[in-house]
Amino acid sequence: MFKRYLFLLAVVIIGVNFCRAQSRPIRYSGIINTGAVFGSNNTKLQVQTIHGIQSDTWSAGIGVSLDDYFLRSFPVFIDVRKDIFNTANSPFIYGEGGINPVWRNIEESYRKIDHKTGAFYEGGVGYKIGLNQQMALIIAAGYSFKSFRADSYVKAYDTSQPLNWAWSNRTSDKYMLRRIALKIGLRF
């Protein structure tokens, strides 16, 4: 819980500093990433697209990801980045935070699983390599976290009415997945 509050505090501080930089010209910024997430469950693909604004060395945007680790989900998040130097080639730091909706629920003749939206956050470092005036190759590594809850039900016979089957015996499991993310992409 403390880590979440610390992460949110860092995002707010970065956002405040970004707002202070508003006197500089603001332009569109877009990022398309692909990479792998590594954890105790396996190694899976992650694809992201982020669109927002940039002012000098700061950028902020809204992103969506297809995350296939453990259970397919599509995190929706806010991304904040800071280039260390105001040059074409520069190291950078980034932070992302948002929600993690799960791709689909499961319903079979004898059981049903409802997946509930959880949290998503990621933070890391990377390096930007300028390709031309408006495009850069980015390579990044970071710590990634996603969570969700799964409510499971089984079909049981309801004795109060004849031939009446109902979903009952709910169990609830919370999944908290911690991973290492390695990504490569384009920033434009």
Strands, DSSP E only, in 21-158? 27-38, 43-55, 58-67, 76-83, 90-100, 106-107, 111-116, 118-130, 136-157
| Residues 100-120: tens digit of each pLDDT | 999 888 888 788 999 999 999
Is 168 contained in some domain?
no
The tokens describing 180, both together, are 């290492």
Q: Is the pLDDT of residue 127 over 60?
A: yes
Is 57 contained in some domain?
yes
Q: Is the pLDDT of residue 46 over 90?
A: yes
Is 99 contained in some domain?
yes
Q: Is the pLDDT of residue 16 over 70?
A: no
Is 21 contained in some domain?
yes
Query: Could you list the residue range(s) of the whole structural domain that residue 128 is in?
Result: 2-103+116-147+173-187
Is 128 contained in some domain?
yes
Is 98 contained in some domain?
yes
Q: Which residue has the tokens 């453990």?
A: 70
Is 162 contained in some domain?
no
Expressed in angstroms, the distance from the first to the final Cα of the chain is 35
Is 111 contained in some domain?
no
Domain harbouring 126, CATH code: 2.40.160.20
Q: How many domains does the chain have?
A: 1
| CA-closest candidate to residue 19, choices 63, 93, 80 | 80
Residue 18 pLDDT class (50, 70, 90 cuts): low
Average pLDDT over the chain, rounded to whole? Answer: 89
Q: Is the pTM of this model over 0.75?
A: yes
Question: Using CA atoms in the order 38, 99, 72, 174, what is the torsion angle rounded to 10 degrees?
Answer: 80
| Residues 170-184: tens digit of each pLDDT | 899 999 999 999 999
What confidence score (pLDDT) does residue 23 get?
62
